[in-house]
Amino acid sequence: MNGAPLRILQLTSDWKWTGPAEPMLELAAGLEERGHRVAVACPEPQEPGARGVASEARARGREPALLLAASLGRGDWWLRGGGEARRLRALLESGRFDVVHAWHTRDHALALRAAGMRPGARRAALVRSWRKGEPLPAAPWSRWLFGPGSDGVLCVAPGVADRCRAQRAGRPTRGWFGAVDLERFAPRAPDPAVRRALGLADEHRVVGIVARVQPHRRFDLLLAAAAQLFARDPRARLLVIGRGTRRAELAEEPARRLGISDRVIFAGYRREDYGEVLRCCDVFTFLVPGSDGTCRALLEAAACGIPAVTTRRGALPEIVADGETGLLADETPEALAGAFAALLAEPGRRRSLGDAARKRAESHFTRARLAGEVEALYREALAAR
């Protein structure tokens, strides 16, 4: 750590345990390991017993410093958030925080109402996470939010930060990858019992994806590629890990129409055995980043030593070193099927790429590295103010 310890508030208005939630708590822990004081403000779960940010924070020994109202919808925070802004302002004044880190637009607007719309009116530096792998939005309100309305912006990868920097007029902008638990996601042979429970035989070779089944995740493209792969390699299987209310419409029924439903395995959402199910994949794939632009599941697969085949969307080409830790492919069924088939047919190449993916995870995807990069951004934001 360079400089005095910082007092940091991590702020999220989303109660759900979605993609960005775990990186936020991992970052909080990493910053504390560097000697900083970190607090979290978030809502309680709206559904009794549901997995949420607040419950996960408590499970990690972190009681939220402020419980926000979870009842305000996407369009309500600015109109009806006055009471929440006053409660947040009281917390900021009592805790005398140096940095407020907002993870969503609603958080950002709430922090501005609480701390002051003008940069000079804010005591704490306001840092915003940009979770997409594309340039910052160009709408007037967004230009203000990501311009004078934020003292620092954290992007999901260094290259993404480079693309966003021009829109920031010289204001501090950095990017780094997410963090993964290297011990939990260590390379190990798949558990034979888990493979059997998934319906996998010894001869099957598996392409796996971890994603919520949603239209923008391009399951149409994935299934078309899988159909071509199966035509080349009868031993190949596709393992889909994740849930989605439209799974039948977007994945199960199309698989049946393509005549491949007997070779596509829907494992659903996994929790306790997630790591073991992930290790059943011989090749991992990601076509489109989800709500967490750091593509956490891809980082976890790399930590497990599983090579990946991805497109060039968002931060994917920065996470996967083409030809070193996996393969980048064009967004066509032919290109993806060819990349899958090439890796499934060459166990030695898979092992080599997987070993390199693990080494990259050990150097790039750690909590300590993420915390160090983010601390540097916080200090730049404070100095620029």
Residue 71 lies in a domain: yes
Q: How far apart are CA 163 and CA 175, in angstroms?
A: 10
Q: pLDDT value at position 20? A: 78
Q: 150 lies in which domain range?
A: 7-179+366-384
Residue 377 lies in a domain: yes
On whether both 148 and 288 belong to a single domain, the answer is no
Half-sphere exposure of 328 (CA within 13 A, CB side): 14
Q: What is the mean pLDDT of residues 244-258?
A: 95
Is 0.85 topped by the overall pTM? yes
Q: If DSSP states are collapsed to H, E and C, what string results for 295-340?
A: CHHHHHHHHCCCCEEECCCCCHHHHCCECCCEEECCCCHHHHHHHH
Name the burial class of residue 348, with classes exposed (0-12), middle (13-18) and buried (19+) by CB atoms within 10 angstroms of its CB.
Answer: exposed
CA distances from 35 to 118, 155, 216, 363, 381 (A): 30, 23, 40, 21, 19
pLDDT band of 76, cuts 50, 70, 90: low
On whether both 205 and 331 belong to a single domain, the answer is yes
- What does the mean pLDDT of the chain come to? 93
Q: How far apart are CA 324 and CA 317, in angstroms?
A: 12
Asked if 15 and 53 touch (Cβ cutoff 8 Å), the reply is: yes
pLDDT digits (tens, 9 = 90+) for 141-171: 999 999 999 999 999 999 999 999 989 999 9
On whether both 317 and 198 belong to a single domain, the answer is yes
Token pair recorded at residue 156: 């999901």
Q: pLDDT value at position 131? A: 92
Q: pLDDT value at position 118? A: 60
Residue 186 lies in a domain: no
Q: pLDDT value at position 95? A: 83
Residue 185 lies in a domain: no
pLDDT digits (tens, 9 = 90+) for 322-333: 999 999 999 999
> Is residue 78's pLDDT more than 70?
no
Residue 13 lies in a domain: yes
Task: Specify the amino acid at residue 56.
Answer: E
pLDDT digits (tens, 9 = 90+) for 343-382: 999 999 999 999 999 999 999 999 999 999 999 999 999 9
On whether both 17 and 146 belong to a single domain, the answer is yes
DSSP string, 54-102: HHHHHHTT---SEEE-S---TTTHHHH-HHHHHHHHHHHHHHT-SEEEE
Residue 108 lies in a domain: yes
Token pair recorded at residue 92: 């900021």
Nearest partner of 167 among 195, 138, 194, 192, judged by Cα: 138
Q: How far apart are CA 152 and CA 283, in angstroms?
A: 37
Name the burial class of residue 121, with classes exposed (0-12), middle (13-18) and buried (19+) by CB atoms within 10 angstroms of its CB.
Answer: exposed
Residue 271's CB is within 10 A of a number of other CB atoms, namely 6
On whether both 22 and 152 belong to a single domain, the answer is yes
On whether both 258 and 147 belong to a single domain, the answer is no
Residue 116 lies in a domain: yes
Q: How far apart are CA 32 and CA 1, in angstroms?
A: 11
Half-sphere exposure of 196 (CA within 13 A, CB side): 3
CA dihedral 304, 160, 338, 309 (to 10 degrees): 10
Q: How many structural domains does the chain have?
A: 2
On whether both 284 and 372 belong to a single domain, the answer is no
pLDDT digits (tens, 9 = 90+) for 31-73: 999 999 999 999 998 877 788 999 999 999 999 999 998 655 5
On whether both 78 and 174 belong to a single domain, the answer is yes
Asked if 137 and 148 touch (Cβ cutoff 8 Å), the reply is: no
Q: pLDDT value at position 2? A: 75
On whether both 218 and 260 belong to a single domain, the answer is yes
On whether both 360 and 378 belong to a single domain, the answer is no
Residue 1 lies in a domain: no
CATH assignment at residue 328: 3.40.50.2000
Q: pLDDT value at position 49? A: 77
> Is residue 12's pLDDT more than 60?
yes
On whether both 125 and 200 belong to a single domain, the answer is no
Q: pLDDT value at position 360? A: 98
> Is residue 83's pLDDT more than 90?
no
On whether both 153 and 282 belong to a single domain, the answer is no
